[in-house]
Amino acid sequence: MTAVGYAATARRRDVRPPVRPARLLFSWLVSAVAVLLAATLLPGLDLGSPAEALVVAVGLATINAVLPPLVASLRLPYTVATTLLLVLLANAVSFLLIDAWTDNAVEVDGLGSGLLAALVVTAIAMALGEVLGADDDDLYSLRVTHRLARRASHRVRTDVPGIVYLEIDGLAMPVLQRAMRDGNAPEMARWVADGTHRLVEWETDLSSQTGASQSGILLGSNEDIPAFRWVEKERGVMMVCSNPDDCAEIEARHSTGDGLLAQDGASRGNLLSGDADHVLMTVSRVSAEKRANPGYRPFFANGNNVTRVLVLFIWEVLLELVAARRQAGRNVQPRGHRGLRYAFLRGGVCVFVPDVTLTR
């Protein structure tokens, strides 16, 4: 978001990433190395020769530019689950297509081997990309988003700039100031240094937790939300701010129809929607996840996003299982239950939800 001065005329800028042939070639080379290493590790993936790895890398990039966007354009119920599975299938099919279209460039034993190859190639390419600085997924996703926006049937053209509200739970002002000082929040540090923005401290009232804070910020009222969970004696029920039904009830009680995100706003990864027209993974509107949701299209249109998230999800689960084992070995007290279910929950919350809601 471009920073503007107070009382200055706001202008909208379209960020169109340039096509850099040298950078594109470099990313293909990195992908080729990943394919070559995967072929040495996986028994179900064989290359005709090491030089064929580049042919496979270019073929994968070409198919990824066509097949996942087509899958993402389908309007399917339970969009996250159904489209994720279909894009995973498309990634596996990509290897089979290259096997069929080329003369011994690559041989894949079957669909399962193709899926495993896609995951291993992605994992290796991610590691190489971090080391060599060859991660262009953000630029690619931005190009895909522009293409999808041009084809959208309900586009709204406007010169009025929008506002992005980012909530970070439990972020104290001294912590943010330290992050800006140490270079961990460089963009916000630049805004303040340029004088276009001010850093203003905000204190929550009681109760100082996400449900009450979001209700106050997004809906204009946090009345009768005394805690994250509480018992309503007159009804004999417990209300919990992370429960979908309870969040829907909280929003129904406090919404007047003109919340902060009303009038074509979007809610991403919130407890409450703020009366937004477009929602992704918002607890109070979880029923919307059962219907087709075109908001996920930019994420799923890049097949690398799906394999990347799955690889990171598996890694996060492994990290949790190791951490839980160490905690039990050291007999750390007190400690909560950290079984397999919690490990999968951690992977979903720490990897899947942020990546999907940010829509790379």
CB-facing half-sphere around the CA of 204: CA atoms within 13 A: 21
pLDDT at 106: 84
Adjacent-strand bridge partners of 229:
240
* Rounded Cα gap, residues 96 and 90, in angstroms: 10
Is 275 in contact with 305 (CB distance < 8 Å)?
A: no
* Rounded Cα gap, residues 243 and 137, in angstroms: 34
Q: Write out the two tokens for 292.
A: 């087709």
pTM for the model: 0.76
pLDDT at 2: 41
C-alpha distance from residue 148 to each of 23, 83, 151, 228, 243 (Å): 23, 16, 5, 39, 34
Q: Tell me whether strands 237-240 and 266-268 are parallel, antiparallel or unpaired.
A: unpaired
Q: Tell me whether strands 45-47 and 106-108 are parallel, antiparallel or unpaired.
A: antiparallel
Q: Reply yes or no: is the peptide bond before residue 207 cis, omega within 30 of 0.
A: yes
Q: Write out the two tokens for 219.
A: 């809906």
C-alpha distance from residue 134 to each of 27, 34, 127 (Å): 6, 12, 10
Residue 345 DSSP code: H
Residue 77 DSSP code: S
If the chain, 360 residues long, is cut into consecutive pieces of 10 residues, what is the mean pLDDT of each piece? 43 56 78 90 87 88 87 88 91 89 84 91 84 59 58 66 83 92 92 91 83 91 91 91 92 92 88 91 88 84 86 93 92 86 91 77
Is 246 in contact with 229 (CB distance < 8 Å)?
A: no
* Rounded Cα gap, residues 177 and 212, in angstroms: 25
C-alpha distance from residue 89 to each of 6, 31, 67 (Å): 50, 20, 10
